[in-house]
Structure 1
Amino acid sequence: MTTSKLSNDSLTLAIDTFGAELHSIKKDNVEYLWQGNPEFWGRQAPVLFPIVGKLKNGTYTLDKKSYQLSGHGFARDNEFELIDSDKDELVYELKDSKETKRVYPYDFRLRVSYKLTKNRLSVKWEVKNQDDKDLYFGIGAHPAFNVPLENGSFEDYKLTISPAQKREFIPLDAAAGTIKLDEKHTVTASEFPLTRELFKDDALIFETPGATQVTLSNSVNSRSVKISWENMPFVGLWSPYPREAPFVCIEPWCGIADDENTDGELSTKFGINTLAPGKKFKAGYTIEIN
């Protein structure tokens, strides 16, 4: 486990080889990234792969065989290799192993890159199918940001989804960790003042077709975080409830938890990505710190 830093005149970042996970984002010596206090949530910004969220009963079926896989997959709990670095970019890689194949029977390569430009961090994912069969997977982000940022209270902050438009909202069964597609419905709200009760049913999940951004801002200072992406079909917004955790997560996803009525087949799972042999999948998002 090795920590590397990226820095310029605007930001200082720290990223670890374990999970290829962000550990710090500082501006003006103010820490924007949650520091992983296990009293509330011990992680900070895990990479979610090869699933996002939970599987129904923790299992899935592929080629008539059953596998167990924990929520959000295994990438976050594996050591990546730092394969490339320069003054403004770090690239990490995870390959399949005997251990991963016990729960996910594929030859694959996952690369995660972090590139710093002024006050923006670009995070990119590349999944390569190195197998001779179609690869089914989900991938997602789970960065947590401190609330408050320097000063104020939790209730002084808000989340805003742009562009302002009608969106599909997907309810979550907090106890099971599964989504309720039968109860999916359209909502018009795009601005969400932070309250503890906002997260009483766990994460808020929205479909996000097209270019989208989510901004964390407040009424007491000018500090803000903006997460933006082009091609991620879902976003989750989360803070623990009822514990008064001092952070909120903004999570763009190419994948989603199982529907409560799933038959467990990975190839037909709602929101799954399919990658042909030898092909690459690319996606990413940007964190802008102000």
Structure 2
Amino acid sequence: MTTTKLSNDVLSIAIQDFGAELHSIQKDNIEYLWQGDPEFWARQAPILFPIVGKLKNGSYTYDNETFKLGGHGFARDQVFKLLESEANEAIFELKANKETRAVYPFDFRLRITYKLVNNQLTVKWEVKNLDEQDMYFGIGAHPAFNVPLESGTFEDYRLTISPAQARQYIPLNPATGVLNLSQKHAVDQTEFALTRELFKDDALVFETPEATEVSLTNTVNDRSVKIAWENMPFLGLWSPYPAEAPFVCIEPWCGIADDQNTDGDLTTKFGINTLAPGKKFKAAYTIEIN
């Protein structure tokens, strides 16, 4: 496993080629990124591709064939190639291979760019369809941040979604990890004090059709994290339950888990993206560290 390090006058980060996954985000010698203790959750900031969340019964159908695919897809378990690396920017690439084609029958190129500017890290995704047919996929982020940051307890922290407006909330079935779209409803709440009970029904999932920010702040110091994006239609907020894990995940998604009533057809899956042959899909989010 190879690690690439980037830094500027404010931040230093590390990325592993396995999964092109963030391994560290530090400011003032304080580690902001969860370090992957397997007692709670061994991962840190996996890239979710070509699906986000779980499939009903762990499978989907495409062109009259059934494919098994685990939750969040395979990108997080693939070794990416480092294409470019400078002091404050690195680009990683994954292409379809024998292993991916066994579970996902499309020829693709996935590039992940990490770029530091002042106290911000921008993560860019680019998916290119190298196939001769339309490609169907989801992609998402899953970064976990330490709670507490330097001081305080889990309950001293809160998550705030901006702008302050009602959003559609989609319940998850904790037993299966799939959605219950029939119970989707508007929720006015935009500030959430962190408690273990907040996640007793698994992740909180919202629709975010507009530009959105989520802030992790606290009442004991000035340490905070803000994640911002413009074109990602879903958001997940998660921490394990009932384990008292010292982290919370803020997850912007271009894709989402199956609905419990899905027929399993990938082409009509809720939240799926369709990409024509030769075309590119691009999205990005920014992590601001304070």
Using structure 1 for the length normalisation, give the TM-score. 1.00
Q: Within the alignment, does 1:225 sit opposite 2:225 as a pair?
A: yes
Q: CA deviation at 1:210?
A: 1.2
Deviations 1:187-244 (A, max 9, x none): 0000000000000000000000111000000000000000000000000000000000
Size of the aligned set, in residue pairs, is 290
Aligned ranges for residues 86-235 of structure 1 at < 5 Å? 86-235=86-235
Q: Which runs of 5+ in 1 are unaligned?
A: none
SS in 2 for 1:103: coil
Distance 2:8 2:278 in 1: 37
Q: CA deviation at 1:134?
A: 0.3
Give the aligned residue type for 2:273.
N
The match for 1:18 is: 18
Q: Within the alignment, does 1:43 sit opposite 2:32 as a pair?
A: no
The match for 1:252 is: 252
Q: Which runs of 5+ in 2 are unaligned?
A: none
The match for 2:78 is: 78
Distance 1:273 1:4 in 2: 30
Deviations 1:76-129 (A, max 9, x none): 000000001111100000000011000000110000000000000000000000
Q: CA deviation at 1:273?
A: 0.1
Q: Within the alignment, does 1:239 sit opposite 2:265 as a pair?
A: no
Using structure 2 for the length normalisation, give the TM-score. 1.00
Give the aligned residue type for 1:118.
N
Distance 2:205 2:23 in 1: 25
User: Percent identity at matched positions?
Assistant: 73
Give the aligned residue type for 2:131.
D
The match for 1:289 is: 289
Deviations 1:141-185 (A, max 9, x none): 000000000000000000000000010000000111100000000
Distance 2:9 2:86 in 1: 16
RMSD, aligned CA: 0.4
Structure 1 runs of 4+ off > 3 angstroms?
none
Give the aligned residue type for 2:220.
V
SS in 1 for 2:102: helix
Distance 2:210 2:174 in 1: 27
